[in-house]
Amino acid sequence: MIPGTEPRAPGRSGDRLRPLAKHWAVRVLTIYALSRLVSLVAFWIGWTRFDRQGYPVPADASFLQFLARAWDGRWYGLIAEEGYPAELPRDSDGEISESPWAFLPLFPMTARLVMTVTGLPWDVVGPVLSASFGAVAVLVLFRLVMIAAPELVSERPGLPYSAVAAVSFFPAAGVFSMAYGDSLALVLVLVTLWCILRRRYVLAMVPLVLLGLTRAIALPMAAVVVWHLVHRCRTEGFRTISPREWGAAAMLGVTALISGYSWVAIAGLVLGSPAAYFEAQSPWRQGGSSTAPFAGWTWFIESWLGWAVFALLCLGIVAVTFRSWLRRLGPEFQAWGGAYIGFVVAATAMGASTPRYLLLTIVFPLLLVPAKRSFRDDLVVIVTLAALQVAWIYAVCMLEGFTP
C-alpha cells in the first residue's frame, strides 16, 4: 500500500479537535463570543426601535454604521478619517462646542493604520477593532488571574473562566461591540498590572505610556506602584529590593504621573492653551463647565439616585479591601480598584457613562463572581449580567440623553 493512502480511522479528525476544544483560549474566546452575540442582538433591537431623527446617527444609517458612529464612535471616526482640528470649535455665542479633542488618539489612530493597510472603511474597522481588543483583554485577564492567585485557582479551578464571564457580560461591556476605545484601555490596564505583578517595572512603562494616550486614567497606576512596593517591603523586607528595582519602580511611578497628563500637555501645546483639554471636555460635563475635582457630581449627588451610586462606589472600595477572595488576587488588583474608583469620583461627571468607568476597575465585575465553585451560581451570575447588559443597551438606545 502506498504510504499515506491508508484508510482513515473513523472519528480521527474529531479526536484531533477535542484537545483544541479543551484549550483554555478556545473556552475563553467562546465565552467572549457569546457575550458579543448578546450585545449585538440587544443593540440591533435598540437600533430598530429608537426614533431616528439624525441622532446619534443619520436616519438612513445602517446597523454597521450605527455601531461605528453612534455617540463616541462618531468622534473616533472623525479622528481616524480627518485627524484633529487646528483649534477648538465655538458656537454662535462664542462658547466652546463639542470637538474631537476630548477624545484620546491611540484607538482611532490604530484604526487609521488598519484602514490604510487594508483599505477598509471606518464603519468596518472601528467595531471590529474594538471587539478584537476585547478578545485580547479577556485572554490577558484569564492568564493574569492564574498568575496572581495560583493557590486560589487550585482551590477553585473555574475561577479564571468565571472572571472572564463576569467581565464579558458586565452591562457596560456592550461597548466592546461598538467603535469605542474601552477595550483597548482594558488591555493596557491588564498588561500594566501583569508587568508590575511580574516585577518588570521597565517593561510596564510601555503599556502605561500607551494607556495615557487611550484613556485619561493612567494616574491611579502610581498608587498601584506605591502599594506594590509597600506590600513587598512588608512581606519580603526592605533590603530584599535591590537599588536597581527601586530605581525602576520609581521611574514607573513617575511615568504614571506623566502619562496621566500626557494628553493634557499635548493638547495644550497644539492648541496654545494649558487648559485646552479641559475646555474640550466642558461641553460634556453635566454640572457645567467646571473641571474642579468632584464638580461633575454636584448636580447629581443631592438626588436619591446620586446617593445610591455613591454608596455603590463606596461598597466597591470596601469590597476590594475586605472581600477575602479579591484580597487573594494580590495588592495590585486591590490598589488599582481602590485608586481608580477614587479617581473616577474625583475626575468624571456622573452619568450614563459611569458603568463604563466601573468596568475598567476590573474588580467591580469580579465582585459578582461566586467565591466557591458552583456551576449553578456561575450560571445565575451570567444570566443576570446578560439581562442587565441588554437592559443597559436598551436604555442607551431608547432614552434621550442617556448615552454610553
Sorted by sequence, the CB contacts under 8 Å of residue 213 that are 6+ apart come out as 104, 105, 106, 259, 262, 263
Residue 73 has pLDDT above 90, yes or no: yes
**What would the pLDDT profile of 93-151 be if each residue is shown by its tens digit?**
878 888 999 999 999 999 999 999 999 999 999 999 999 999 999 999 999 999 998 88
**Percent of the chain whose pLDDT exceeds 90:** 55
Average pLDDT over residues 245-259: 97
Query: At 162, is the pLDDT very low, low, confident or very high (cuts 50, 70, 90)?
Result: very high
**H or E element in which residue 278 lies:** helix 276-281
Query: At 3, is the pLDDT very low, low, confident or very high (cuts 50, 70, 90)?
Result: very low
At residue 341, the pLDDT reads: 85
Residue 335: which of 244, 248, 257, 225 has the closest Cα?
A: 225
Helical segments of 59-170, H only: 63-69, 72-82, 106-118, 122-148, 150-155, 159-169
Q: How many helices and strands in the chain, by DSSP H and E?
A: 20, 0
Residue 327 has pLDDT above 80, yes or no: no
pTM beyond 0.75: the answer is: yes
Query: At residue 187, what are phi and psi to the nearest 5 degrees?
Result: -55, -45
Task: Return d(Cα 4, Cα 143) in angstroms, integer.
Answer: 40
At residue 8, the pLDDT reads: 46
Domain boundaries, the chain: 23-50+57-363+371-398
Report which DSSP code applies to 176: G
Task: Return d(Cα 38, Cα 166) in angstroms, integer.
Answer: 14
At residue 16, the pLDDT reads: 52
For residue 258, CA distances in Å to 162, 221, 394 come to: 35, 11, 38
At residue 52, the pLDDT reads: 57
Task: Return d(Cα 296, Cα 223) in angstroms, integer.
Answer: 23
Helical segments of 50-121, H only: 63-69, 72-82, 106-118
Count the Cβ atoms, other than its own, within 10 Å of residue 184: 26
Sorted by sequence, the CB contacts under 8 Å of residue 38 that are 6+ apart come out as 169, 386, 389, 390
| Distance from the Cα of residue 183 to its chain's centroid | 5
